Amino acid sequence: MPEISEQEYNQQRLQQVNEALGSGMFVYVRKLLQHMPAYDLALILESSTAKSRPVLWQLIDPDFHGEVLEELNEEVRKGILKSMRPEKLAAVAEGMDIDDLAEVFRTLPDSIYNEVLNSMDSQDRSRVETALSYEEDTAGGMMNTDTITLRPDVTVDVVLRYLRLKGDLPDATDSFYVVDRNNKFIGAVSLAAIVTAKAEAIVSSLINAEVEAVQAELGEQDVAQLFERHDWFSAPVVDDAGHLLGRITIDDVIDIIRENAEHSMMSMAGLDDEADTFAPVIKSTKQRSLWLGVNLITALMAVAVTSMFEGVFQQLAILAVLNSLVPSMGGVAGNQTLTLVIRGMALGHVGDSNARALLSKEVAIGFLNGIIWATLIATVVAIWKQDLMLGGVIAFAMLMNMTAAGLAGVSIPLLLKRLNIDPALAGSVIITTVTDVVGIFAFLGTATLLLT
C-alpha cells in the first residue's frame, strides 16, 4: 500500500517545481521535469499560474512538446500556442497523432495558421488537411489514420509473417481491418483471433460480426454510446461509401465521457467546461460577469415582484423578514429535480416517452416534501410569532412553491432541449426565477389578502 495517494504525490511534486521556479533555479526545474510523462507535465502546467506557464514550457524538453500539447486542457493549450513561434509549432506538429494535431490546428489564431501549414512538408500538410475536413465533434474528428488492413483471402500464417516483418504495431492496436481492393471495409479481425486461430485459417473466416464500422459524420456522443454499448476498445471509421478512413480508440472516448459529465456541472454554474483554473484575473472576470448579469436580471425580477408589496411591509415588517424562506426552499427543490433530469438526459434515461411519468413523480415528490416542510415551518412560525394565521400563510406558500418547483424542474429542461437550448446552462436560472416569483407571490399575496 502506498503511503501517500497519487494526488498528494502530485501536489508535493508541484510544490517542489514551484518553489524551485520561484527561486530561479531553472536548471533544477528542467531536471525535475525531465523524466515525467506528458500527462504529468500537462498537469503541472494546468496547476500553475498563467504567469509561470511560459517559463515552465521553455524548461520542458522540446521533444515532449507535442505529447504535452495533446494532453493539455484547451484553454491552457491556447495560451501556450500563442507564445510559440510558427516554425517551432510546425516542428512539434510532425510527431503528433492526427486527431490531436487537428485539435491543435483548430485552436490556432488565423494569422499563424497558414504560416505553420506552409512550414510543414507536403505529407504532414495533407494529414492536417484530412483531419480538418471533419467536424471536431464527430467520429472523423476523433479518429487516427494508423490502421493495419488485411485482405480477406490471406491465411493467418501470412498475417503473422507480415506482422513480424513490420516489427511494430501502432499504439493500442487490438484489431485489424479487412478491406477489399478498393479499401472498402469488410470487417474487423481481433489480434486475439489471429493468435488463437490455426495457421491455415483464412482471415475472412475470423471476422468478428459484433464490430460495426462507425460513420465519419456520427456525433461524438453517439460514438461514446456505441463504445459503451458494445464494450469496444477500438472501432473502424468509414465514409459514406463504406471506405475505411481510420479508427477510434477507447482513450479518445474516455475524454468525451468525462467532458460530458463535467459539462453539466460547469454549465450549471455558468462556467465553460474547458475553463482554466488558473486563468488570468481579467479574463476570468469577463467570463463570469456575463453569468452574473443574467442572474442579476433574475434577482431584479424577484425585487420587482416584492416591490408590489412594499406597502404591506410598513404594516407587517415580519413579512419582510420571512420573505426569503419560501423562494429559497423552492429554489433548492427545483434545482434538485433539474440536476436529476439533466443527468437523466445525459445518460439517455429521460425523453419524450417517459416525460409524463417523470413529471408526475417529481410533482408528487415536491408536493410531499412541501407538506413536510410546510407543517414544520408553520409550527415554528406559529409558536415563534404566536400567530397561527401567519403560520398557515407560509405553509400554504411553501406547499405551492415546492409543487411548482417539481413541475418546473422537469418541464423546463425538457422544453429547453426541444428548443435546442442547453438545459444545463439555462435551466437553473429559469427555475430560480420561477421559484422566486411563485414563492414571493404565494407568500406575500396570500399574506396581503388574509393578514392586512
Which residue, 332 or 388, is less far from a second copy as judged by CB?
Answer: 332
Which residue, 112 or 218, is less far from a second copy as judged by CB?
Answer: 218
290 binds a second copy (CB under 8 A): no
382 binds a second copy (CB under 8 A): no
Binding test (CB under 8 A) with a second copy, winner from 121, 198, 200, 449:
198
268 binds a second copy (CB under 8 A): yes
435 binds a second copy (CB under 8 A): no
Stretch of residues binding a second copy (CB under 8 A), selected from 23-31, 54-62, 177-185, 255-263: 255-263
Q: 315-344: which residues touch a second copy (CB under 8 A)?
A: 317-318, 320-325, 327-329, 332-333, 335-336, 338-341, 343-344
If you compute the radius of gyration of the chain from its CA atoms, what whole number of angstroms results? 29
Binding test (CB under 8 A) with a second copy, winner from 284, 375, 446, 448:
284
295 binds a second copy (CB under 8 A): yes
Question: In the complex, what is the shortest distance from the CB of residue 155 to a second copy, in angstroms, rounded to a whole number?
Answer: 13
107 binds a second copy (CB under 8 A): no
Binding test (CB under 8 A) with a second copy, winner from 27, 55, 192, 389:
192
Question: In the complex, what is the shortest distance from the CB of residue 10 to a second copy, in angstroms, rounded to a whole number?
Answer: 5
Give, for 92, the enclosing helix (H) or strand (E): helix 86-94
Binding test (CB under 8 A) with a second copy, winner from 49, 133, 379, 452:
49
Binding test (CB under 8 A) with a second copy, winner from 116, 350, 434, 438:
350
CA-closest candidate to residue 323, choices 260, 401, 264: 401
On the 0-12 / 13-18 / 19+ scale of CB atoms within 10 A, 383 is exposed
Which residue, 114 or 307, is less far from a second copy as judged by CB?
Answer: 307
Bridging pattern class, strands 234-238 and 214-215: parallel
Question: In the complex, what is the shortest distance from the CB of residue 111 to a second copy, in angstroms, rounded to a whole number?
Answer: 29
- CA–CA distance from 312 to each of 308, 323, 360, 393, 450 (Å)? 9, 12, 36, 15, 12
The Cα 392–Cα 385 span in angstroms is 12
Q: What is the DSSP letter of 177?
A: E
375 binds a second copy (CB under 8 A): no
Which residue, 120 or 432, is less far from a second copy as judged by CB?
Answer: 432
Site size for a second copy (CB under 8 A):
133
- CA–CA distance from 448 to each of 30, 91, 321 (Å)? 71, 74, 15
On the 0-12 / 13-18 / 19+ scale of CB atoms within 10 A, 257 is middle
Stretch of residues binding a second copy (CB under 8 A), selected from 26-34, 92-100, 107-115, 264-272: 264-272
The Cα 131–Cα 103 span in angstroms is 9
Handedness of CA 75, 80, 81, 82 (dihedral sign): positive
- Count CB-CB contacts under 10 A for residue 316: 18
Stretch of residues binding a second copy (CB under 8 A), selected from 27-35, 87-95, 122-130, 364-372: 364-372
Binding test (CB under 8 A) with a second copy, winner from 118, 230, 379, 383:
230
The Cα 13–Cα 420 span in angstroms is 44
Report H helices in 133-241. Answer: 139-142, 156-166, 191-196, 220-230
Residue 334 in contact with residue 432, Cβ under 8 Å? yes
Which residue, 116 or 273, is less far from a second copy as judged by CB?
Answer: 273
Binding test (CB under 8 A) with a second copy, winner from 27, 296, 388, 450:
296
Handedness of CA 387, 389, 392, 397 (dihedral sign): negative
Amino acid at 201: A
Question: In the complex, what is the shortest distance from the CB of residue 102 to a second copy, in angstroms, rounded to a whole number?
Answer: 19
Which residue, 22 or 62, is less far from a second copy as judged by CB?
Answer: 22
Stretch of residues binding a second copy (CB under 8 A), selected from 54-62, 84-92, 103-111, 214-222: 214-222
**Binding string to a second copy for residues 151 to 180, with x set by CB under 8 A, is what?**
---------x--xx-xxxx-xxxx------
Binding test (CB under 8 A) with a second copy, winner from 107, 221, 446, 448:
221
On the 0-12 / 13-18 / 19+ scale of CB atoms within 10 A, 203 is buried
Which residue, 91 or 218, is less far from a second copy as judged by CB?
Answer: 218
35 binds a second copy (CB under 8 A): no
Question: In the complex, what is the shortest distance from the CB of residue 438 to a second copy, in angstroms, rounded to a whole number?
Answer: 15
Residue 264 in contact with residue 273, Cβ under 8 Å? no
Q: What is the DSSP letter of 60?
A: S
310 binds a second copy (CB under 8 A): yes
